[in-house]
Structures are given as C-alpha cells and as structure tokens.
Structure 1
Amino acid sequence: MRRAPALSFLLVTVFLDMLGLGLIVPILPALLTAVTADASSAVLWSGLMGSTFGLLQFVVSPLLGRLSDRYGRRPVLLASLTCLGVDWLAHATAPGPWPLLAFHALAGACAGTYTVVNAYIADIAEPDRRAGAYGSIGAAFGLGFVAGPTIGGLLGAVDVRLPFFAAATLSLANVAYGWFVLPESRPGDRTTRLTLRTANPIGAIAAVLRRPVLGRLAYAHLCADVARMIHQSTWAFFLTYRFAWDTTRVGLVLAAGALAGVVFQARAVGPVVRLLGEKRTAVTGSLVGAASLLGTAFVTEPWLLYVLVAVGVLGSVAGAAAQSWVSRSVRPDEQGAVQGALTGIGALAETVVPVTAGAAFGWLLAYAPPGLIFVAAAGCAALSALLLARTPDARPVPLR
C-alpha cells in the first residue's frame, strides 16, 4: 500500500460522510414536522427527499467519476466534500420544506465521493492488497453507520437543527485536513472524453454493461445491491412482527451486527482474499449472504437470528472482493468512469428498492408469510453469486 496518509484520509472521509448522513436520520422527521406543522405531510416530504437524494446521486456520480479521470482525483474529491459541507449548513438554516428538498437534492449530487474514493484506492493500492483496502473502506462506512444515528439522536435532543451544524463542521474540517495531507493519486488526463454521451448516467452505465466481463460484474453488483436494500428496508419491521421486539432491542442487534462487520472487514477481508482469490471469495461470500437471508425468512427463535446475523457478517467479504475484481478489470485512466457507473447503479437501487420492498412487505403482511420478502432477497444474492461464478478473468478493454 502506497501513501498511508492518503488512505487514512479516505477512511476518515467515508466515515464522516456516513456519519453526516446518519446524524440526520433520527431528527429529520422532527425537523420536517416542525417546518410543515403536519405529521402526515412530513412523511410525504421525507419520502420525496429520500428519492430525490438517490436520483441526484444516480445522475451525478458518473460525471464525478469521469471528471476525476480527466482532472485528477484530489480536486474532485475536495470539491465534493466542500459542497457537501456547505449543503449541510444550508439544511440547518432552511426555513421550509421546499428549500430542504432542494438542499437534500444537492447533497445527493455531492454524495459521489464514494466513487472517487474507490478510484483513488485502485490508484494507490497494489493489486494483491486492494481487496483489504476496500475492506477497510467498508469498515469505515459501517462504523459511520453505527455512530451517526446515535450521535444525531443525542444532538437532536438538544436542538433539532444541531446535527446539521455538526455534519457541516465535520465535512468542512475534513476538507481542511485533506487539503494538507491528500496527494494526487493520478494526474488528470485531458484526453479523457467529457461528452454528454460519456458523462450521463445512462450512457456511462451502458458503456460498462457492453463489456463482457465488466458487464457481468456490474449486473452482479446490482443484484447484490437489491438484496442489501431489501434487507435494510424491511428487517426492522420483520423483527417487530415476528418477535414483537421494541425499537431498543432491534437497534442493539443492528448495531452489534454492524460493529461485528466493521471488525471483520477491517481485519479479515485481506487475508481471506489472499487465501482464496478475488473470484472465489466474492462467490463464496455471496452464497453465504444468500444463506443468511434465506434463513432469516424462516427464523422462529431469537437465538437463531443471532446466528444468522453472524453468518451475514461472514458474507460481507463478497463486496470488497468484487470491488477489487472490478478495479483490476479496468484501465487506470477509466477507474473513475467505471466506479461512477457502479455508484449510479447502486443509487438507482437505493431509490427504487426501498419503496418497492416496503409495498411488497405490506402486501405480504396481509396476504402471505412476510418472510417471503427475504426469500426474494436471498434469490437476488444467489443470482449475484451465479453471475460472479460465470465471469472469467480478462484483461481491461477500453470503454466505448
């Protein structure tokens, strides 16, 4: 691994990005209720803001990736972080729902930092160490996911807008930190084409899907994202239905699983990939994840649920291994473009799946066993494993 200070900055960036998003989760309903003066309107605005965030991330992420190929990773990353910090500050002072919606859409547009971080990792990490680096990024992501809602709830109890000021302060402080410690990982290439066809999300994703190896990896990535979003969108509701757990117990189990995932990804992903290789690790991890989801569909005892959560943690190796595999299948001058397309695919899943899965789960509650929603998630994870297993290794070929 080259440039250890750069990796430290990337880990802090991902942690703070997720922390900033997590800070606002527990207080957004209260803030929307305060600015709309109506609880039912607040629910509608919350759903609209979530969908708009994902839509703008889908639209802008491929552009940010292409810009990082053309102008370098450092300026694009620092500019996105600055935009995000200013945007959280605007959230804190927004007087009504329409400005909040506009600022949240801008936050989605600025949330492509994950795209540039993944491209930066591909630049600085040696191929045999890349999966471990992506595992560390996943651990930082998970740690921010655990810490954000907790801190946001505490700050929101003091003042409903305080978490937004905290998120802005952390983001802008990280920009200052990066200004001094973050070197450029790869000088920009002004010959990289920046056209409407190459930078729009549909064109960027289509260019990736046209390539035989990379296309299969992208479809596998989409299936894994759909499985993950189905699980995230319905898991807490399912436990409340199946075991009559209160929110405290659900939150504790969720936090424990996330923390276990943080430790596992930080410490185990690199050694496992060096032992099995990227492909076998990705396939095995996806199958293990599918088994965990399938078991959840039919779980009847709380102790068995804890076992399934632990199995799901083991399956988390798949994401980092597949990400490393993708980066190895791409030329250095188009890492940003490909990572942007993959981020766009993930954002599309995050926009569509929660609404669809929520509606399906509600229907199942009334007419069928609700655990079937996890059978569907397990099927998506198994399909991801099948696509990975049928994907050969190949040398990078240029995007067209």
Structure 2
Amino acid sequence: MNTSINKHELKFGMISVFLTGLGLTIVSPVLHFLVKFYTSNPSSQATAVTLLTSIYALSVFLVAPVLGALSDRYGRRPVLIISLFGSALGYFIFGLGGALWILFIGRIIEGLTGGEISAIFAYFADITPSGARTKYFGWISAVVGVGTALGPTIGGALATFGNSVPMYAGAAITLLNAIYGYFFMSESLEKSKRSSRISARHLNPFIQLSNVFSFKSVRWLLIAGFLIWIPNGSLQAIFSQFSIDTFAWQPVLIGLTFSIIGVLDIFSQAFIMPRFLKFLPDEKIAHLGMISEMIGFIFIAVSAFTAFYPVFIIGMIFFGVGDSIFGSSFNGMLSKSVSASEQGHILGGSQSIQSLARFIGPIIGG
C-alpha cells in the first residue's frame, strides 16, 4: 500500500480532472441552441437534447468497464491518453454540425472515449494510500467542481461568438490535456500488480456489469447509486430546456446557474467533508448526501409550478451539496472494497452503471 504520494503524479492527476470537468460542462449552456436549427418545435428540441445526453451516457455504459479492464491489464496511461484524444475528436465533430445526425456521431465518439474517468479514478487509487482515499476522492470531486463551475460560465460567454465556439474550445482543452499527459504522465500501475490476462469476456460490457454485481460487499451500494443517478441524469439533461421554458433564461444565465453545482462541489469538499470525515463513516455521509438531494428535488419541483426562480436556485443548492458529498463517499467506499488489480474493474463498472442510469434518466425527463 502507498504510504506517500508523488507530488508530480498528484499534480498531473488534479490538472487532468480539472480539464475534464471544464471540457465536459463548457458545452452545456448551448446544447438547446445548437439543436433548435435542426428541429421544428420546443417539444422535439427537448427530445433531441435529452437523446443527445442519453446517447452519450449509453456509449459510456458500453465502454467504461472495457476501458477499466484494459487499464488493469495494460496500465492507466495508454488508456487515458487515447481516450482523451478521442474525446477531443468528438467535440470537434459536434462543433462542425451541419445536421442532427452529425451531432449524434460526435456525441457517440465522445461517449465511447468518455469512460476515461474510470481510468482517472483508478489512477488516483494507485497513487493514494487506502486510508486517505475518501479524502482524495473528495478533492478530485472538488477540482472537477472548479472545472464544472467555470465550464458553463465560459461556454455561455463563448456562445456570444457563435454557438459552436464552446465545442471547439472543449476540443482544444481536451486535446491539450491529452498532449500534457503524453509528455508528463507516468504509469501508476506497476506491472506486477496488473491483471495477468484479458479475455473476450472482459470486453463484453454486459458480462463486466454482471461481474461487478458479484462483489457482494458493494452490491447494494451500486444499486443505491443507480437509483440516485436516474433522477440526477434527468435533471442535468433538461436543465437548459427547463430554464428556458420556465424562466426564459439565455445561455449566459443558464451557464452561471449551472455553475452552482461546481461551486458547491468546492465548498462541500473544502468545508463540509473534512468535518464529516472526522466524526462519520462513509456510509452515514452517503445517507446525508441522498437526503440533501431529495430536498433539492422538492424545491426544484415547486419552482416548476410557481415559476419563481429563487426557489429553483435553493433547490439547486441542496442538490449540489448532496450530490458532492454522496459522490466522494460513494467512490471512497467502492475503492476500499477491492484490491489494486481490481480498481479499474470496479470503478469502470461503477461508471458503467452510472452511465446506464444517466441514459435512462434523460429519456424519462425528456
């Protein structure tokens, strides 16, 4: 087990998750405005936006456990770098547009390489001591939160120069991250700790998913996460359309409000989680996170009937805090449950389950 952390590895990892968060959210405020050129009415626009969200999640579902298994066998570095190059290509194609089907192709390519987050979590599991893993996973969430907070704001601002500009910015950011990793990322998984072989069964996402549920110690944890991620995916998919239809908001304001989630990630990991970890186990923290999310959904539902945006913002605050503390405690419990050679497997499987929920949720919301 690691007793110390290489500062260069930690620095690279934090930069990677920051740029991943920024690249993912920079496009969120303009999705509706890109789609409206290829649809005829608000209903079909909402359906197209949520399907674009769902197809991304479905693609991640299919590939995340595969990438996790590949990283267990061949190391984190090649899987992560190749995935980032693919994500950059997906953003670029999405920005080019020209037809609705081209948007879907770009989103699918981005999703098929979007399972790199499982390799990132496995990378951090490699370089951090087990006892401090929940804390570091919490800081990963906070750093992603910084990127998430800046992404929608920058995306909304860049949209003033054209709705495709945030997509090109996302491509550039992800490409720079891949280049940085190619030159500076060291391999974190020693050859002696890698899986001895990989078979066709490891590349079948449905078999991998069933294997993940064979870990009895985390089976119910994964089910709880699945049930939480369904409404979360629904909310994030319809956020822009809901804001436009209910409050008549424009991209900049949508981006600023969406940034609340990222800001609360930072706040939660800087002030709430350190205090919780002193007195509460991961399980109790996860329970508190779920309760906070439920309260948030109640406020958001009320705002839909009242069209009173302060109620919506209060709901987003409760949701953001709950989502942050649930996510870090969830990943901490999950990582501690398996050995070093299974980190990619279990975290990739978790990402796959999350993506399946985020495939179902947007369809329901749309």
TM-score by length of 1: 0.77
1:279 equivalent to 2:283? Answer yes
SS in 2 for 1:185: coil
- Greater shift in the superposed pair: 89-98 or 205-214: 89-98
SS in 1 for 2:29: coil
Match of 1:226 in 2: 230
For residues 107-134 of structure 1, what are the alpha-carbon distances to aligned partners after superposition, in whole Å with 9 as ceiling and x for unaligned?
1001112111111111111122211211
Match of 2:160 in 1: 157
1:148 deviates by 2.0
Q: Would the aligned equivalents of 1:135 and 1:270 in 2 still touch at CA under 8 Å?
A: no
1:271 deviates by 4.2
SS in 2 for 1:210: coil
Q: Would the aligned equivalents of 1:229 and 1:349 in 2 still touch at CA under 8 Å?
A: yes
Within 2, Cα distance between the matches of 1:291 and 1:95? 41
Match of 1:180 in 2: 183
1:312 deviates by 4.0
Q: Would the aligned equivalents of 2:234 and 2:365 in 1 still touch at CA under 8 Å?
A: yes
Bigger Rg, structure 1 or 2? 1
Q: Would the aligned equivalents of 1:131 and 1:269 in 2 still touch at CA under 8 Å?
A: no
1:322 equivalent to 2:325? Answer no
Match of 1:384 in 2: none
Letter aligned with residue 339 of structure 2: R
1:259 equivalent to 2:263? Answer yes
The structure-2 alpha-carbon separation of the partners of 1:297 and 1:98, relative to structure 1 and needing over 3 Å to count, comes to closer
1:201 equivalent to 2:205? Answer yes
Letter aligned with residue 160 of structure 1: N
Letter aligned with residue 225 of structure 2: H
RMSD, matched Cα: 3.1
Q: Would the aligned equivalents of 1:51 and 1:351 in 2 still touch at CA under 8 Å?
A: yes
Match of 2:214 in 1: 210
Within 1, Cα distance between the matches of 2:260 and 2:24? 20
The structure-2 alpha-carbon separation of the partners of 1:205 and 1:174, relative to structure 1 and needing over 3 Å to count, comes to same
The structure-2 alpha-carbon separation of the partners of 1:257 and 1:52, relative to structure 1 and needing over 3 Å to count, comes to closer
Which of the residues 83, 87, 91 maps onto 1:80? 83
The structure-2 alpha-carbon separation of the partners of 1:106 and 1:123, relative to structure 1 and needing over 3 Å to count, comes to same
Which of the residues 86, 105, 126 maps onto 1:123? 126
Letter aligned with residue 12 of structure 1: I
Which of the residues 242, 249, 253 maps onto 1:247? 249
Question: Tell me, which stretches of 5 or more residues in structure 1 are unaligned?
Answer: 359-400
The structure-2 alpha-carbon separation of the partners of 1:31 and 1:298, relative to structure 1 and needing over 3 Å to count, comes to closer
Q: Would the aligned equivalents of 1:281 and 1:321 in 2 still touch at CA under 8 Å?
A: yes
1:19 equivalent to 2:22? Answer yes
Match of 1:146 in 2: 149
Within 2, Cα distance between the matches of 1:282 and 1:190? 31
Match of 1:66 in 2: 69
1:166 equivalent to 2:174? Answer no
Within 2, Cα distance between the matches of 1:102 and 1:169? 19
TM-score by length of 2: 0.84
1:330 deviates by 0.8
Letter aligned with residue 287 of structure 1: I
- Greater shift in the superposed pair: 333-342 or 181-190: 181-190
SS in 2 for 1:186: coil
Letter aligned with residue 356 of structure 2: L
Within 1, Cα distance between the matches of 2:243 and 2:114? 31
SS in 1 for 2:163: coil
Within 2, Cα distance between the matches of 1:10 and 1:257? 21
1:106 deviates by 0.8
- Greater shift in the superposed pair: 298-307 or 191-200: 298-307
SS in 1 for 2:108: helix
The structure-2 alpha-carbon separation of the partners of 1:343 and 1:140, relative to structure 1 and needing over 3 Å to count, comes to same
Percent identity of the aligned residues?
28
Question: Tell me, which stretches of 5 or more residues in structure 2 are unaligned?
Answer: none
Q: Would the aligned equivalents of 2:264 and 2:320 in 1 still touch at CA under 8 Å?
A: yes
Within 1, Cα distance between the matches of 2:348 and 2:87? 17
The structure-2 alpha-carbon separation of the partners of 1:206 and 1:173, relative to structure 1 and needing over 3 Å to count, comes to same
